[in-house]
Structure 1
Amino acid sequence: MEPWRAATGGLTVALRVTPRGGRDAIDGIETLSDGRSVLKVRVRAIADGGEANRAVTELLAKAIGVTKKAVRITSGTTSRLKQVAIDGDALALDLALRDLIAVHKPTRT
């Protein structure tokens, strides 16, 4: 099960973010203990003053080929679990995310 769903004007994606993760990367899909799926994201930035949130939105935008303005955090700004909205064609975004995670195996925590 993918951690994203179609929304008005694009997609909504559930994330689990690791700030100070040593590198900026998208590490695939993870299934949480409650059964929810999230996209695992790590960034080098620290979780202070919104730096990690900025790094997350920039990383996602670059990885799926949209502008930085097209990606925004809609909930969880101070949490590791976040929801982001990505503006654009839902089908094209879905395909971009599927291609991005194709090489990663889902994990369970």
Structure 2
Amino acid sequence: MMSQTVVVTVKPNSSKGPLVEADEEGAITIFVREPATEGKANKAVGELLAKHLGVPKSKVALIGGATARTKRFRVD
């Protein structure tokens, strides 16, 4: 399988989390309870995205937007 890039919008410190929502256009929003400090939210988002896509978390890597709300992940 080729790797693909998944773009997600992250909502840290969310009481809705952990939750993955996809809209009609396929845009993914991920809500996590973790704060956006020390990479905690990024780690939680990666784990949740892997679970949502049904792949091991080792196959999901953050490739862009580490400090932004919009992040790019590579999924192998």
TM-score by length of 1: 0.63
Structure 1 equivalent of residue 33 of structure 2: 44
Instruction: Return 5+ residue gaps in structure 2 as ranges.
Output: none
One-letter amino acid matched to 1:12: T
1:29 to partner: Cα distance: 2.8
- Unaligned 5+ runs, structure 1: 1-7, 32-36, 88-109
After TM superposition, give the deviation of residue 62 of structure 1 in Å.
Answer: 1.2
Q: Deviations over 1:49-105 (max 9, x none)?
A: 000000000001112211111001100000001111100xxxxxxxxxxxxxxxxxx
- Give a deviation string over 1:2-29, Cα, whole Å, max 9, x none: xxxxxx8321011110001111111113
Aligned-residue RMSD, C-alpha: 1.8
Question: In terms of Rg, which structure is larger?
Answer: 1
Q: Which residue of 1 aligns with 2:13?
A: 20
- Give the match's secondary structure for 2:33: coil
Moved over 4 A (4+): none
Q: What's the counterpart of residue 60 of structure 2?
A: 71
In the alignment, residue 23 of structure 2 is paired with which amino acid?
Answer: I
User: Which amino acid counterpart does residue 19 of structure 1 have in structure 2?
Assistant: P
Q: How far off is 1:30 after superposition?
A: 7.3
- Structure with bigger helix share is 1
